[in-house]
Amino acid sequence: MTENGRSYCGNLGIADAGREVHLAGWVDALRDHGEVLFAHMRDLTGIVQVVFSPELTPSPVCELAGTLRNEFCVAVSGRVQARAEGTENPNIETGSIEIMVRELSILSPSAALPFAISEKAMVAGGTASRVDSVSEDLRLQYRYLDLRRPSMQQHLVRRYRIVKAARDFLDERGFVEIETPVLTKSTPEGARDYLVPSRVHPNHFYALPQSPQLFKQLLMVAGFERYFQVVRCFRDEDLRPNRQPEFTQLDLEASFIDEEFIYELVEELVTRMFAVGGVTLERPFPRMLHRDAMDLYGTDRPDTRFGLTFVEATDIFAGTGYSIFRQILKQGGRIKGINVKGQSEKLSKNVLQNEYAKEIVPSFGAKGMTWMRVADGGLESNIVQFFSEGEKRAVLERFGAEDGDVILMIADASYDVVVSALGQLRLHLAGRLGLVPQGVFRPLWVTNFPLFDPTADGVTSCHHPFTAPDREDFDPGDRAGLLALRSRAYDLVMNGEELGGGSIRINGREMQQKIFQALGLSEGEIEEKFGFFVRALDYGAPPHGGLALGLDRVTSMILGTTSIREVTAFPKNRSAYCPMTQAPSPVAVEQLEELGLLQPGEAKQIPGAGERQELVDTLSWVSRIGLQASERPGIVSVLADAMRLAEIVENRAGGDEPLFSPVFPKNHMREKAPACNSPLAESGELLKNAPSVKGNYFKVASILD
């Protein structure tokens, strides 16, 4: 078969009835009806049913078809015919036709599958195979099989269409795609770098880029004016369920622009990307100041698909007799709350007091929660007796409360604790009560972020140190003044997820130096880390700004997948590990030595390597059990006996004499006896060789789910 003569499974239809076609692909499923064998055949375009019938299929072909198994790679030739009335299969696009096979070639057989791949039922009303119960690590271990599933293939094909739509749009707007280096200089951008040692320059390292930030700004200095790139980035961050150590972002930068240019450009860009997935976004996207997002939602990435916005209640209790509130307010604290409309029946007193007030809210960082239910025009709870009539009326009025509502309040001396805990409570309640509408997309610009965040001994950049401040008249040594500065930064948020962010950049050397000074960098540190960049600002750098969208996250949201791993071809698992390639993995001592990563004389002293030189030491190292000098001869003797036995078994394999067991058949199970603790455990002798002990247990390395 040649490509020119091949037809594609998913492209065939009733209009092709009577045609001779040649197909190539994989056996998706089989159904044997005795003399007649039905099979689903699958390629990238879809699935079609092929039939091996003694009436039309030569006998040798039918015999060969009997050897088929799921996921055999095959080629067939046959005639397209309409299915008999009543036998159509609505589960597949080509369900009105089938291929009567005349020729069959098995291009490559398949071993037994670790999990089912087929997702389509062969008959109407049948149940399709699912991988929901298959562990993610098993799927990732056999990712090349997992990617054969039509749903996974469609995810990656649609991801390509989404990225292509972005590329086409940016091309229309005059942007040029330019690649930037992957091996670059380590610079602080808020996360740890992945470092790459240089063989040519001993004890020197490249860093894999967290973003192309400095290079895209240098492209603006170089006069390209409008740049974009679909770029791979790397961040050695703490693990989260929806985070990968390497990810893809759509990066763009433009010169002689302001924030309004970015808003208009990105809104049109994102609208086109979502349209590929059949999602229509309303424009213009609303905007919200960072301080308002924190004050109303407790997060800089608010989910605006549902209500439960915060209500300020601090002033209501300014003269309260309720001692807990009074003590908090004396410390300059705040009181905020939310009104859970009409949910009183679902939030019983037991749930509010024992679940939320005692367990859930404290897990969010707050000391507790105050709750009140609204009934018969008044408030009910175990604390309303401490409120005055005026305070009760004010609460009802301020929260717009009606019968059936539940008012939840958090009070704390720290404003950050109040809004953070209340924000997490808001999301928890929305999920529990089903308040989040499905199939709704609410984009939002969050703007005017703080330029700096406080640290124990100074400040750090809220985004990165190249973001322009909202004003230039500030003292880099005034910590309070620095924390009051706002930035010309903006984040694009949708449904509680940050899809991307950016800012207008600093384009003058003096201002950039002030920011570095505010961050506590000395002149030497500035030169060492950013000297090449600062010098570039001396050569007519234009005003510029940009933004980066997380393509994995955007695609996942458009396609409605549960994880970004579902739209990534070869992702790592939640432990940043690849079960398929087993990366990261150890490397040879010689490689480390060649890269100068060993100290002189330590070529054979890598942790664990020296202990693995002899078999007995390998056993000790793998089992993590130390050996005393007195124990070593006995263990060596036992291992030698085991090796001799292995050689005997190996030599006899395939010979005339049968294999045998050197142990006489006998039940070697311990005789039944009352359970008791070993005296060696009580004395500590049992665990004396353990490298680490926790309580009375042998401590092993933790496993991250």
**pLDDT mean by block of 10 residues, the chain; 705 residues:** 81 96 97 93 97 95 96 97 94 96 97 94 78 90 97 97 98 98 82 91 92 96 98 87 90 98 98 97 97 97 97 95 94 97 94 94 94 95 93 96 96 96 97 95 98 92 94 94 96 97 97 95 92 96 98 97 95 92 90 83 50 68 74 85 78 55 58 72 72 65 48
What contacts 158, CB < 8 A, 6 or more positions away?
276, 277, 555, 558, 559
pLDDT of residue 611: 44
Q: Which CATH number fits domain 3-108: 1.10.1740.10, 3.40.50.720, 2.40.50.140, 3.30.420.40?
A: 2.40.50.140
Q: What is the DSSP letter of 578?
A: B
pLDDT of residue 694: 64
The secondary element (H helix, E strand) that includes residue 644 is helix 632-652
What contacts 407, CB < 8 A, 6 or more positions away?
337, 338, 339, 340, 371, 372, 373, 374, 379, 395, 399, 401
CA distance 372 to 388: 14
Q: What pTM did the predictor assign? A: 0.82
Residue of 175, 168, 91 whose CA lies nearest to 129: 91
Could you state, in order of their start, the residue ranges of all structural domains in the chain? Answer: 3-108, 306-433
pLDDT of residue 3: 65
pLDDT of residue 704: 43
CB atoms within 10 A of CB 17: 15
Do residues 451 and 487 lie in contact, with contact meaning Cβ atoms separated by under 8 Å?
Answer: yes
DSSP string, 176-221: EE----SSB----SSSBPEEEE-SSSTT-EEEE-S--HHHHHHHHH
pLDDT of residue 670: 60
Strand segments, DSSP code E, in 470-557 are: 489-494, 497-504, 544-550
Residue type, 560: G
CA distance 534 to 521: 13
pLDDT of residue 160: 98
Taking CA 31 as the corner, what is the angle to CA 26 and CA 33, rounded to the nearest 5 degrees?
140
Do residues 300 and 449 lie in contact, with contact meaning Cβ atoms separated by under 8 Å?
Answer: yes
Q: Which CATH superfamily is domain 306-433 in?
A: GAD-like domain (3.30.1360.30)
